[in-house]
Structure 1
Protein backbone atom coordinates (compact mmCIF):
# COMPACT_ATOMS: atom_id res chain seq x y z
CA UNK A 1 0.00 0.00 0.00
CA UNK A 2 1.39 3.47 -0.86
CA UNK A 3 2.52 5.76 1.93
CA UNK A 4 -0.02 8.37 2.94
CA UNK A 5 -3.15 6.19 2.69
CA UNK A 6 -4.72 6.56 6.11
CA UNK A 7 -7.81 5.41 8.00
CA UNK A 8 -8.82 5.06 11.65
CA UNK A 9 -8.25 1.33 11.28
CA UNK A 10 -5.02 0.51 9.42
CA UNK A 11 -6.36 -2.87 8.37
CA UNK A 12 -9.42 -1.16 6.89
CA UNK A 13 -7.20 1.17 4.85
CA UNK A 14 -5.32 -1.80 3.42
CA UNK A 15 -8.54 -3.61 2.59
CA UNK A 16 -10.03 -0.59 0.84
CA UNK A 17 -6.89 0.05 -1.16
CA UNK A 18 -6.79 -3.60 -2.21
CA UNK A 19 -10.31 -3.20 -3.64
CA UNK A 20 -9.22 -0.08 -5.52
CA UNK A 21 -6.11 -1.79 -6.84
CA UNK A 22 -8.09 -4.84 -7.99
CA UNK A 23 -10.64 -2.63 -9.78
CA UNK A 24 -7.81 -0.83 -11.52
CA UNK A 25 -6.24 -4.09 -12.65
CA UNK A 26 -9.58 -5.40 -13.93
CA UNK A 27 -10.19 -2.18 -15.87
CA UNK A 28 -6.74 -2.33 -17.45
CA UNK A 29 -7.22 -6.00 -18.32
CA UNK A 30 -10.47 -5.14 -20.07
CA UNK A 31 -8.78 -2.28 -21.91
CA UNK A 32 -6.03 -4.64 -23.10
CA UNK A 33 -8.65 -7.13 -24.29
CA UNK A 34 -10.39 -4.39 -26.26
CA UNK A 35 -7.09 -3.50 -27.91
CA UNK A 36 -6.21 -7.13 -28.71
CA UNK A 37 -9.57 -8.85 -29.31
CA UNK A 38 -8.21 -11.55 -31.62
CA UNK A 39 -5.56 -12.56 -29.10
CA UNK A 40 -8.27 -12.77 -26.44
CA UNK A 41 -10.40 -14.91 -28.76
CA UNK A 42 -7.51 -17.21 -29.63
CA UNK A 43 -6.44 -17.92 -26.04
CA UNK A 44 -9.87 -17.67 -24.41
CA UNK A 45 -11.28 -15.04 -22.06
CA UNK A 46 -10.18 -16.72 -18.81
CA UNK A 47 -6.62 -17.29 -19.94
CA UNK A 48 -6.44 -13.76 -21.34
CA UNK A 49 -7.48 -12.30 -17.97
CA UNK A 50 -4.56 -14.09 -16.29
CA UNK A 51 -2.28 -13.14 -19.19
CA UNK A 52 -3.21 -9.47 -18.83
CA UNK A 53 -2.44 -9.58 -15.09
CA UNK A 54 1.01 -11.01 -15.83
CA UNK A 55 1.62 -8.32 -18.46
CA UNK A 56 0.58 -5.61 -16.01
CA UNK A 57 3.31 -6.70 -13.61
CA UNK A 58 6.00 -5.72 -16.12
CA UNK A 59 4.38 -3.18 -18.47
CA UNK A 60 2.01 -0.78 -16.78
CA UNK A 61 0.62 2.21 -18.72
CA UNK A 62 2.86 5.26 -18.65
CA UNK A 63 0.23 7.58 -20.07
CA UNK A 64 -3.46 8.17 -19.31
CA UNK A 65 -4.05 7.65 -23.04
CA UNK A 66 -4.60 3.89 -23.07
CA UNK A 67 -4.47 3.83 -26.88
CA UNK A 68 -0.70 4.23 -26.47
CA UNK A 69 -0.39 1.19 -24.21
CA UNK A 70 0.49 -2.27 -25.47
CA UNK A 71 3.50 -1.62 -27.70
CA UNK A 72 5.44 -4.36 -25.89
CA UNK A 73 2.58 -6.87 -25.73
CA UNK A 74 3.68 -8.77 -28.85
CA UNK A 75 7.18 -9.33 -27.47
CA UNK A 76 5.68 -10.33 -24.11
CA UNK A 77 3.58 -13.01 -25.81
CA UNK A 78 6.61 -14.37 -27.65
CA UNK A 79 8.52 -14.80 -24.38
CA UNK A 80 5.65 -15.99 -22.15
CA UNK A 81 6.48 -19.66 -21.41
CA UNK A 82 2.88 -20.98 -21.38
CA UNK A 83 2.49 -19.75 -24.98
CA UNK A 84 5.69 -21.22 -26.35
CA UNK A 85 3.70 -23.55 -28.61
CA UNK A 86 1.94 -20.59 -30.26
CA UNK A 87 4.74 -18.39 -31.66
CA UNK A 88 2.42 -16.73 -34.20
CA UNK A 89 0.56 -14.82 -31.47
CA UNK A 90 3.23 -12.11 -31.45
CA UNK A 91 2.66 -11.28 -35.11
CA UNK A 92 -1.12 -11.23 -34.65
CA UNK A 93 -0.67 -8.83 -31.72
CA UNK A 94 1.52 -6.56 -33.85
CA UNK A 95 -1.27 -6.35 -36.41
CA UNK A 96 -3.81 -5.45 -33.74
CA UNK A 97 -1.55 -2.81 -32.19
CA UNK A 98 -0.80 -1.31 -35.62
CA UNK A 99 -4.53 -1.10 -36.36
CA UNK A 100 -5.02 0.93 -33.21
CA UNK A 101 -2.19 3.28 -34.17
CA UNK A 102 -3.59 3.59 -37.68
CA UNK A 103 -7.06 4.46 -36.41
CA UNK A 104 -5.69 7.24 -34.18
CA UNK A 105 -3.12 8.53 -36.69
CA UNK A 106 -3.09 12.20 -37.68
CA UNK A 107 -5.18 13.35 -40.61
CA UNK A 108 -3.53 14.19 -43.93
CA UNK A 109 -5.25 15.17 -47.20
CA UNK A 110 -4.70 12.89 -50.20
CA UNK A 111 -2.53 14.06 -53.07
CA UNK A 112 -4.16 15.63 -56.10
CA UNK A 113 -4.26 12.83 -58.73
CA UNK A 114 -3.11 15.34 -61.36
CA UNK A 115 0.14 15.89 -59.47
CA UNK A 116 0.84 12.18 -59.60
CA UNK A 117 -0.21 11.76 -63.23
CA UNK A 118 2.19 14.47 -64.40
CA UNK A 119 5.15 13.41 -62.26
CA UNK A 120 8.42 12.03 -63.63
CA UNK A 121 8.69 8.47 -62.21
CA UNK A 122 12.50 8.74 -62.28
CA UNK A 123 12.37 11.67 -59.86
CA UNK A 124 9.09 11.56 -57.95
CA UNK A 125 8.94 10.30 -54.38
CA UNK A 126 5.61 9.51 -52.78
CA UNK A 127 4.58 10.49 -49.27
CA UNK A 128 2.18 8.14 -47.50
CA UNK A 129 -0.54 8.78 -44.95
CA UNK A 130 0.56 8.61 -41.27
CA UNK A 131 -1.79 5.65 -40.78
CA UNK A 132 0.09 3.39 -43.22
CA UNK A 133 1.91 0.51 -41.53
CA UNK A 134 3.78 -2.34 -43.18
CA UNK A 135 4.56 -5.40 -41.06
CA UNK A 136 6.76 -8.30 -42.14
CA UNK A 137 5.37 -11.27 -40.22
CA UNK A 138 7.19 -14.55 -39.76
CA UNK A 139 3.86 -16.40 -39.70
CA UNK A 140 0.58 -16.22 -41.68
CA UNK A 141 -0.70 -13.64 -39.21
CA UNK A 142 -2.95 -11.83 -41.70
CA UNK A 143 -4.75 -15.06 -42.50
CA UNK A 144 -5.12 -15.88 -38.79
CA UNK A 145 -6.40 -12.37 -38.02
CA UNK A 146 -8.95 -12.49 -40.85
CA UNK A 147 -10.26 -15.91 -39.82
CA UNK A 148 -11.05 -14.52 -36.37
CA UNK A 149 -13.09 -11.50 -37.45
CA UNK A 150 -16.83 -11.29 -36.67
CA UNK A 151 -18.80 -13.07 -39.37
CA UNK A 152 -15.70 -14.50 -41.05
CA UNK A 153 -16.34 -17.58 -43.17
CA UNK A 154 -14.14 -20.63 -42.69
CA UNK A 155 -11.26 -20.53 -45.13
CA UNK A 156 -8.01 -22.46 -45.59
CA UNK A 157 -5.19 -21.08 -43.49
CA UNK A 158 -2.30 -19.69 -45.49
CA UNK A 159 1.17 -20.98 -44.76
CA UNK A 160 4.51 -19.24 -44.41
CA UNK A 161 5.38 -15.60 -43.72
CA UNK A 162 3.06 -12.76 -44.70
CA UNK A 163 3.48 -9.01 -45.08
CA UNK A 164 0.57 -7.00 -43.67
CA UNK A 165 -0.54 -3.64 -45.05
CA UNK A 166 -2.58 -1.65 -42.54
CA UNK A 167 -4.08 1.81 -43.09
CA UNK A 168 -7.11 3.92 -42.27
CA UNK A 169 -9.41 4.50 -45.22
CA UNK A 170 -11.67 7.55 -45.82
CA UNK A 171 -14.56 5.79 -44.01
CA UNK A 172 -12.34 5.39 -40.91
CA UNK A 173 -12.18 1.65 -41.39
CA UNK A 174 -8.83 -0.05 -40.79
CA UNK A 175 -8.55 -3.04 -43.12
CA UNK A 176 -5.67 -5.52 -43.06
CA UNK A 177 -4.33 -6.79 -46.36
CA UNK A 178 -1.68 -9.38 -47.16
CA UNK A 179 0.79 -8.21 -49.80
CA UNK A 180 2.68 -10.38 -52.26
CA UNK A 181 6.48 -10.11 -52.42
CA UNK A 182 6.48 -7.55 -55.23
CA UNK A 183 3.94 -5.23 -53.62
CA UNK A 184 5.75 -5.53 -50.28
CA UNK A 185 9.09 -4.61 -51.85
CA UNK A 186 7.50 -1.70 -53.72
CA UNK A 187 5.90 -0.26 -50.60
CA UNK A 188 8.99 -0.80 -48.44
CA UNK A 189 11.04 1.14 -50.99
CA UNK A 190 8.51 3.98 -51.23
CA UNK A 191 8.38 4.29 -47.44
CA UNK A 192 12.18 4.44 -47.40
CA UNK A 193 12.11 7.42 -49.80
CA UNK A 194 12.97 5.70 -53.09
CA UNK A 195 11.79 7.19 -56.38
CA UNK A 196 8.89 5.49 -58.08
CA UNK A 197 11.18 4.00 -60.74
CA UNK A 198 13.62 2.70 -58.15
CA UNK A 199 10.80 1.22 -56.08
CA UNK A 200 9.38 -0.51 -59.16
CA UNK A 201 12.83 -1.93 -59.96
CA UNK A 202 13.15 -3.35 -56.44
CA UNK A 203 9.72 -4.94 -56.77
CA UNK A 204 10.80 -6.55 -60.04
CA UNK A 205 13.83 -8.00 -58.30
CA UNK A 206 11.60 -9.64 -55.72
CA UNK A 207 8.88 -10.73 -58.15
CA UNK A 208 9.59 -10.96 -61.87
CA UNK A 209 6.91 -9.32 -63.99
CA UNK A 210 5.49 -7.34 -61.09
CA UNK A 211 3.13 -4.50 -62.05
CA UNK A 212 3.03 -1.56 -59.60
CA UNK A 213 -0.18 0.01 -60.91
CA UNK A 214 -2.75 -2.08 -58.97
CA UNK A 215 -1.18 -1.30 -55.60
CA UNK A 216 -0.73 2.40 -56.45
CA UNK A 217 -4.36 2.68 -57.58
CA UNK A 218 -5.51 0.96 -54.38
CA UNK A 219 -3.43 3.37 -52.27
CA UNK A 220 -4.89 6.33 -54.17
CA UNK A 221 -8.44 5.10 -53.65
CA UNK A 222 -7.75 4.72 -49.94
CA UNK A 223 -6.37 8.24 -49.68
CA UNK A 224 -3.04 6.79 -48.58
CA UNK A 225 -0.83 8.78 -50.99
CA UNK A 226 -0.52 12.28 -49.58
CA UNK A 227 2.45 13.72 -51.43
CA UNK A 228 4.25 13.53 -54.79
CA UNK A 229 7.52 15.44 -54.58
CA UNK A 230 10.53 15.62 -56.87
Structure 2
Protein backbone atom coordinates (compact mmCIF):
# COMPACT_ATOMS: atom_id res chain seq x y z
CA UNK A 1 0.00 0.00 0.00
CA UNK A 2 1.36 3.40 -0.97
CA UNK A 3 1.44 6.07 1.78
CA UNK A 4 -1.01 8.95 1.56
CA UNK A 5 0.49 12.00 -0.20
CA UNK A 6 0.19 14.19 2.88
CA UNK A 7 1.91 11.50 5.01
CA UNK A 8 4.82 11.30 2.57
CA UNK A 9 5.13 15.08 2.55
CA UNK A 10 5.09 15.25 6.36
CA UNK A 11 7.72 12.52 6.59
CA UNK A 12 10.02 14.54 4.35
CA UNK A 13 9.13 17.92 5.85
CA UNK A 14 9.42 17.25 9.60
CA UNK A 15 12.85 15.69 10.33
CA UNK A 16 14.86 18.86 9.59
CA UNK A 17 12.66 21.10 11.73
CA UNK A 18 14.57 20.50 14.95
CA UNK A 19 18.03 20.38 13.39
CA UNK A 20 19.23 23.83 12.33
CA UNK A 21 22.20 22.24 10.58
CA UNK A 22 20.01 20.25 8.22
CA UNK A 23 19.26 21.49 4.75
CA UNK A 24 15.76 22.59 3.91
CA UNK A 25 13.93 19.60 2.36
CA UNK A 26 13.86 19.77 -1.41
CA UNK A 27 10.10 19.29 -1.45
CA UNK A 28 9.62 22.67 0.23
CA UNK A 29 9.20 25.34 -2.42
CA UNK A 30 7.81 28.82 -2.59
CA UNK A 31 5.64 30.50 -5.24
CA UNK A 32 6.53 29.54 -8.81
CA UNK A 33 8.85 26.86 -7.56
CA UNK A 34 11.25 29.32 -5.90
CA UNK A 35 13.29 28.45 -2.83
CA UNK A 36 11.50 28.64 0.50
CA UNK A 37 14.55 28.53 2.77
CA UNK A 38 13.61 31.70 4.67
CA UNK A 39 10.01 30.61 5.22
CA UNK A 40 11.07 27.15 6.35
CA UNK A 41 13.61 28.60 8.80
CA UNK A 42 10.92 30.83 10.29
CA UNK A 43 8.68 27.79 10.76
CA UNK A 44 11.61 25.83 12.15
CA UNK A 45 12.27 28.55 14.73
CA UNK A 46 8.59 28.75 15.69
CA UNK A 47 8.46 25.01 16.34
CA UNK A 48 11.52 25.16 18.59
CA UNK A 49 10.22 28.19 20.49
CA UNK A 50 6.86 26.47 21.02
CA UNK A 51 8.55 23.39 22.48
CA UNK A 52 10.77 25.51 24.75
CA UNK A 53 7.69 27.38 25.96
CA UNK A 54 5.97 24.05 26.63
CA UNK A 55 8.91 22.90 28.76
CA UNK A 56 8.91 26.22 30.62
CA UNK A 57 5.23 25.80 31.47
CA UNK A 58 5.83 22.23 32.72
CA UNK A 59 8.98 23.07 34.71
CA UNK A 60 8.51 26.60 36.13
CA UNK A 61 10.50 25.88 39.30
CA UNK A 62 13.43 24.59 37.26
CA UNK A 63 13.36 27.76 35.16
CA UNK A 64 13.23 29.93 38.25
CA UNK A 65 16.20 28.10 39.74
CA UNK A 66 18.37 28.33 36.63
CA UNK A 67 17.19 31.64 35.24
CA UNK A 68 15.32 32.03 31.97
CA UNK A 69 18.33 32.29 29.65
CA UNK A 70 20.01 29.17 31.07
CA UNK A 71 16.73 27.25 31.00
CA UNK A 72 15.92 28.09 27.40
CA UNK A 73 19.42 27.18 26.24
CA UNK A 74 19.22 23.86 28.10
CA UNK A 75 15.74 23.20 26.72
CA UNK A 76 16.95 23.88 23.18
CA UNK A 77 19.64 21.21 23.53
CA UNK A 78 17.07 18.81 24.94
CA UNK A 79 14.71 19.39 22.01
CA UNK A 80 17.45 18.64 19.49
CA UNK A 81 18.43 15.47 21.34
CA UNK A 82 14.92 14.20 22.14
CA UNK A 83 12.24 15.46 19.74
CA UNK A 84 8.55 15.06 20.57
CA UNK A 85 6.71 11.86 19.69
CA UNK A 86 3.21 13.00 20.67
CA UNK A 87 1.08 15.85 19.28
CA UNK A 88 0.10 16.74 22.88
CA UNK A 89 2.45 19.42 24.20
CA UNK A 90 1.73 18.61 27.86
CA UNK A 91 3.01 15.09 27.18
CA UNK A 92 6.38 16.40 26.00
CA UNK A 93 9.44 16.56 28.21
CA UNK A 94 9.13 13.30 30.15
CA UNK A 95 12.85 12.73 29.56
CA UNK A 96 13.79 16.27 30.58
CA UNK A 97 14.70 15.37 34.21
CA UNK A 98 17.07 12.64 33.01
CA UNK A 99 18.51 15.04 30.44
CA UNK A 100 19.12 17.64 33.17
CA UNK A 101 20.91 15.00 35.26
CA UNK A 102 23.43 14.48 32.48
CA UNK A 103 23.57 18.07 31.23
CA UNK A 104 27.14 19.30 31.58
CA UNK A 105 26.29 22.86 32.60
CA UNK A 106 23.82 21.78 35.32
CA UNK A 107 26.26 19.65 37.32
CA UNK A 108 26.64 22.38 39.94
CA UNK A 109 22.93 21.93 40.73
CA UNK A 110 22.77 18.18 41.52
CA UNK A 111 19.24 18.45 42.97
CA UNK A 112 17.80 20.12 39.85
CA UNK A 113 16.82 16.87 38.11
CA UNK A 114 14.82 15.71 41.14
CA UNK A 115 12.99 19.03 41.31
CA UNK A 116 12.12 18.46 37.66
CA UNK A 117 10.89 14.95 38.49
CA UNK A 118 8.53 16.41 41.08
CA UNK A 119 7.25 18.93 38.53
CA UNK A 120 6.66 16.16 35.99
CA UNK A 121 4.84 14.10 38.63
CA UNK A 122 2.74 17.18 39.48
CA UNK A 123 1.59 17.47 35.86
CA UNK A 124 0.91 13.74 35.54
CA UNK A 125 -1.13 13.83 38.74
CA UNK A 126 -3.09 16.80 37.39
CA UNK A 127 -4.01 14.86 34.23
CA UNK A 128 -4.62 11.54 36.00
CA UNK A 129 -8.04 9.89 35.94
CA UNK A 130 -10.63 10.97 38.49
CA UNK A 131 -11.47 8.65 41.35
CA UNK A 132 -12.98 8.77 44.80
CA UNK A 133 -10.55 8.69 47.70
CA UNK A 134 -10.69 6.03 50.37
CA UNK A 135 -11.96 7.14 53.77
CA UNK A 136 -10.06 6.10 56.93
CA UNK A 137 -13.36 4.68 58.16
CA UNK A 138 -12.85 1.82 55.69
CA UNK A 139 -10.32 0.33 58.11
CA UNK A 140 -12.95 0.15 60.84
CA UNK A 141 -14.78 -2.53 58.87
CA UNK A 142 -11.73 -4.80 58.75
CA UNK A 143 -11.20 -7.40 61.47
CA UNK A 144 -7.90 -6.88 63.35
CA UNK A 145 -6.56 -10.26 62.22
CA UNK A 146 -7.11 -9.23 58.58
CA UNK A 147 -5.28 -5.90 58.68
CA UNK A 148 -1.87 -7.35 57.83
CA UNK A 149 -3.17 -8.85 54.59
CA UNK A 150 -4.85 -5.70 53.27
CA UNK A 151 -3.94 -4.63 49.72
CA UNK A 152 -4.44 -0.97 48.84
CA UNK A 153 -5.23 0.43 45.41
CA UNK A 154 -3.78 3.90 45.16
CA UNK A 155 -5.60 6.86 43.63
CA UNK A 156 -4.64 7.27 39.93
CA UNK A 157 -3.00 10.62 40.73
CA UNK A 158 -0.72 9.30 43.47
CA UNK A 159 2.98 9.62 42.73
CA UNK A 160 6.21 9.21 44.73
CA UNK A 161 9.53 10.90 43.96
CA UNK A 162 12.59 9.98 46.02
CA UNK A 163 15.59 12.25 46.23
CA UNK A 164 19.01 12.32 47.86
CA UNK A 165 18.55 16.08 48.16
CA UNK A 166 16.02 18.50 49.65
CA UNK A 167 14.05 18.45 46.41
CA UNK A 168 10.64 18.88 48.06
CA UNK A 169 11.70 21.99 49.96
CA UNK A 170 13.44 23.44 46.90
CA UNK A 171 10.38 22.71 44.75
CA UNK A 172 8.04 24.39 47.24
CA UNK A 173 10.27 27.45 47.56
CA UNK A 174 10.49 27.97 43.80
CA UNK A 175 7.09 26.94 42.49
CA UNK A 176 5.38 30.09 43.77
CA UNK A 177 6.32 33.76 43.79
CA UNK A 178 7.73 34.01 47.31
CA UNK A 179 11.44 34.62 47.79
CA UNK A 180 13.35 31.44 48.61
CA UNK A 181 14.98 31.15 52.05
CA UNK A 182 18.26 29.41 52.84
CA UNK A 183 17.91 25.67 52.27
CA UNK A 184 20.26 22.84 53.17
CA UNK A 185 20.05 21.00 49.87
CA UNK A 186 22.01 17.99 51.15
CA UNK A 187 19.12 16.66 53.29
CA UNK A 188 17.37 13.73 51.52
CA UNK A 189 13.63 14.19 50.97
CA UNK A 190 10.88 12.10 49.42
CA UNK A 191 7.81 13.65 47.81
CA UNK A 192 4.22 12.47 47.85
CA UNK A 193 2.13 13.91 45.03
CA UNK A 194 -1.65 13.50 45.23
CA UNK A 195 -4.82 15.12 43.96
CA UNK A 196 -7.45 14.50 46.64
CA UNK A 197 -9.79 17.13 45.21
CA UNK A 198 -9.28 19.40 42.22
CA UNK A 199 -5.83 20.60 43.25
CA UNK A 200 -2.54 18.74 43.12
CA UNK A 201 -0.74 18.59 46.46
CA UNK A 202 2.98 17.97 46.97
CA UNK A 203 4.13 17.13 50.47
CA UNK A 204 7.09 15.65 52.30
CA UNK A 205 6.85 11.98 53.22
CA UNK A 206 7.98 10.96 56.73
CA UNK A 207 10.92 8.56 57.20
CA UNK A 208 10.27 5.24 55.50
CA UNK A 209 7.11 6.56 53.87
CA UNK A 210 8.40 6.35 50.31
CA UNK A 211 9.47 2.71 50.65
CA UNK A 212 6.16 1.89 52.33
CA UNK A 213 3.99 3.52 49.68
CA UNK A 214 6.11 2.22 46.79
CA UNK A 215 5.58 -1.32 48.06
CA UNK A 216 1.83 -0.78 48.42
CA UNK A 217 1.72 0.65 44.89
CA UNK A 218 3.37 -2.54 43.58
CA UNK A 219 0.65 -4.69 45.15
CA UNK A 220 2.26 -5.64 48.47
CA UNK A 221 0.07 -6.50 51.44
CA UNK A 222 0.17 -4.08 54.37
CA UNK A 223 2.48 -6.28 56.44
CA UNK A 224 4.88 -6.68 53.53
CA UNK A 225 4.96 -2.93 52.91
CA UNK A 226 5.58 -2.21 56.59
CA UNK A 227 8.48 -4.68 56.60
CA UNK A 228 9.99 -3.00 53.52
CA UNK A 229 9.65 0.40 55.18
CA UNK A 230 11.31 -0.79 58.40
CA UNK A 231 14.20 -2.19 56.39
CA UNK A 232 14.55 1.18 54.66
CA UNK A 233 14.09 3.21 57.85
CA UNK A 234 14.26 1.56 61.32
CA UNK A 235 12.28 4.45 62.84
CA UNK A 236 9.35 3.97 60.47
CA UNK A 237 6.02 4.68 62.18
CA UNK A 238 3.19 2.67 60.60
CA UNK A 239 0.32 4.53 62.27
CA UNK A 240 1.67 7.95 61.33
CA UNK A 241 2.28 6.95 57.73
CA UNK A 242 -1.11 5.28 57.23
CA UNK A 243 -2.91 8.29 58.72
CA UNK A 244 -0.93 10.71 56.55
CA UNK A 245 -1.62 8.77 53.36
CA UNK A 246 -5.34 8.63 54.08
CA UNK A 247 -5.39 12.35 54.82
CA UNK A 248 -3.54 13.07 51.56
CA UNK A 249 -6.09 11.06 49.56
CA UNK A 250 -3.48 8.58 48.33
CA UNK A 251 -5.80 5.56 48.28
CA UNK A 252 -8.83 4.67 46.17
CA UNK A 253 -9.83 1.25 47.55
CA UNK A 254 -8.67 -1.75 49.53
CA UNK A 255 -9.11 -5.51 49.34
CA UNK A 256 -7.93 -8.52 51.28
CA UNK A 257 -4.71 -10.09 50.09
CA UNK A 258 -6.03 -13.47 51.23
CA UNK A 259 -8.12 -13.52 48.08
CA UNK A 260 -5.07 -13.43 45.78
Q: TM-score, normalised to structure 1's length?
A: 0.89
Aligned to 2:187: 160
Cα distance in 2 between the residues matched to 1:180 and 1:113: 19
Aligned to 2:215: 189
Cα distance in 1 between the residues matched to 2:167 and 2:236: 24
Preserved CA contact (<8 Å) 1:146 1:152: no
Following superposition, the deviation at residue 135 of structure 1 comes to 1.4
Preserved CA contact (<8 Å) 1:123 1:195: yes
Cα distance in 2 between the residues matched to 1:174 and 1:146: 13
Aligned to 2:52: 29
Unaligned 5+ segments in structure 2 are: 1-23
CA distance 1:36–1:154, change in 2 (3 Å)? closer
Is 1:38 the counterpart of 2:51? The answer is: no
Aligned to 1:180: 206
Cα distance in 1 between the residues matched to 2:182 and 2:70: 26
Following superposition, the deviation at residue 147 of structure 1 comes to 1.5
Aligned to 1:135: 161
Is 1:213 the counterpart of 2:239? The answer is: yes
Following superposition, the deviation at residue 151 of structure 1 comes to 4.1
**CA-atom RMSD in angstroms:** 2.0
Which structure has more RCO (C-alpha within 8 Å, separation ≥ 6)?
1
Which protein shows a greater Rg?
A: 2
CA distance 1:185–1:79, change in 2 (3 Å)? closer
> Which residue, 16, 19, 22 being the options, matches 2:42?
19
Unaligned 5+ segments in structure 1 are: none
Following superposition, the deviation at residue 39 of structure 1 comes to 0.9
Aligned to 2:118: 95
